[in-house]
A = this chain, B = another copy of it.
Amino acid sequence: MASRSYGQYCGVTTAVELIGERWALLIIRDLLVGPRRYTDLKQGLPKIPTNILSTRLKELQEGGVVRRVPLLHCGLVYELTPYGRELEPIVLALGRWGFQEMGDPQPEDVVTADSLTMALRTAFQTDAAATLPPADYELHVADVALRVQVDASGLRIAQLQPAGRPIDPRLGTQASTSGEPDLVFAAGPGIRRLISGELTPAAAIDQEVLAIVSGDGTLLERFARTFHIPIDPGVVLVA
Residues of A at the B interface (CB closer than 8 Å) are 5-18, 20, 22-23, 25-26, 29, 45-47, 63-64, 67, 81-83, 86-87, 89-91, 93-102, 105-106, 108-112, 115-116, 118-119, 122, 189, 229, 232, 234-235, 238-239
Of B9, B67, B97, B108, the contact of A110 (CB 8 Å cutoff)? B9
User: For residue A89, which residues in chain B have a CB less than 8 angstroms away from its CB?
Assistant: 93
Nearest Cβ distance between residue A161 and chain B, in whole angstroms? 21
Known interface pairs A7-B110, A10-B111, A12-B91. Does A232 touch B18 (Cβ–Cβ under 8 Å)?
A: no
Are A12's CB and B118's CB within 8 A? yes
Across-interface contacts of A46 in B (CB, < 8 A): 7
Contact B83–A7 (Cβ < 8 Å): no
Contacts of A115 in B (CB 8 A): 8-10, 12-13
Interchain residue pairs A-B with the least CB separation, the first 5: A15-B98, A11-B99, A14-B98, A11-B95, A10-B115
B238 touches A102 (CB 8 A): no
The answer to whether B232 touches A8, judged by C-beta atoms less than 8 angstroms apart, is no
Tell me which residues across on chain B come within 8 A of A5, comparing CB atoms: 47, 106, 108-109
**Do A64 and B239 contact each other (CB < 8 Å), given the known contacts A16-B94, A90-B93?**
yes
Interface contact B11-A16, CB-CB below 8 Å:
no
Please state if B189 and A102 are interface contacts (CB–CB under 8 Å): no
> Are A234 and B98 within 8 A (Cβ)?
no
Contact of A26 among B13, B99, B101 (CB under 8 A): B13
A99 touches B9 (CB 8 A): no
Q: Beyond A12-B29, A82-B234, A83-B100: 6 further Cβ-contacts under 8 Å? A: A10-B115, A14-B98, A18-B101, A63-B101, A81-B238, A83-B239
Take A47-B6, A238-B83 as given contacts and tell me if A96 and B64 are in contact as well, using a CB distance cutoff of 8 Å.
no
Report which of B25, B63, B122, B232 forms a contact with A86, defined as CB distance below 8 A. Answer: B232
From A111, which residue of chain B is reached at the shortest CB distance? B9
A11 to chain B: which residues have CB within 8 Å? 94-99, 102, 119, 122, 229
